[in-house]
């Protein structure tokens, strides 16, 4: 079964990407990705640019409303995702618990809908 792991990071964690702490930050993520790949559970995954680069679109009465940045102010923002293929939710949760952002941020684990025929 496929699960999406949506990685939520604090703003502080995200800012480490471009500071003196960047080596340790990216090193932790590289080790995590390597472990996923070694276990042959990774289907896909990508990191995202910082929340300030986001654009939110809403449709109201057939008209587009576009807003710069994320829609909601939050302590944590979506930093990236992985789609993994494992046998069950317990295994997906185990992989989620190993992510670098698990301690300070959070990870939403959600089953992926199968393709529609």
Burial of 70 (0-12, 13-18, 19+ CB in 10 A): middle
Could you list the residue range(s) of the whole structural domain that residue 70 is in? Answer: 2-111
Mean pLDDT of all residues belonging to the chain: 91
- pLDDT band at residue 115 using 50, 70 and 90 as cut-offs: confident
Tell me whether residue 15 is in a domain: yes
The whole-number pLDDT of residue 71 equals: 64
Tell me whether residue 116 is in a domain: no
Tell me whether residue 117 is in a domain: no
pLDDT digits (tens, 9 = 90+) for 65-102: 998 877 666 788 899 999 999 999 999 999 999 999 99
- % of the chain exceeding 90 in pLDDT: 63
Burial of 68 (0-12, 13-18, 19+ CB in 10 A): exposed
Tell me whether residue 106 is in a domain: yes
Tell me whether residue 100 is in a domain: yes
Tell me whether residue 28 is in a domain: yes
Tell me the C-alpha distance between 79 and 66, whole Å.
Answer: 21
The number of residues making up the chain comes to: 117
pLDDT digits (tens, 9 = 90+) for 8-44: 998 888 888 878 888 988 999 999 999 999 999 999 9
Domain count for the chain, please give it: 1
List the CATH number of the domain containing 107: 3.30.70.1060
């Amino acid at each position: 079964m496929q699960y999406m792991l949506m990685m939520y990071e604090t703003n502080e964690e995200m800012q480490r990407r471009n500071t003196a702490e960047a080596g340790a930050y990216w090193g932790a993520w590289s080790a995590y990705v390597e472990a996923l790949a070694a276990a042959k559970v990774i289907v896909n995954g990508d990191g995202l640019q910082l929340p300030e680069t986001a654009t939110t679109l809403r449709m109201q009465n057939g008209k587009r409303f576009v807003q710069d940045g994320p829609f909601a102010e939050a302590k944590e923002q979506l930093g990236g995702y992985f789609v993994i293929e494992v046998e069950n939710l317990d295994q997906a949760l185990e992989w989620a618990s190993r992510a670098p952002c698990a301690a300070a941020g959070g990870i939403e684990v959600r089953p992926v809908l199968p393709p529609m025929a």
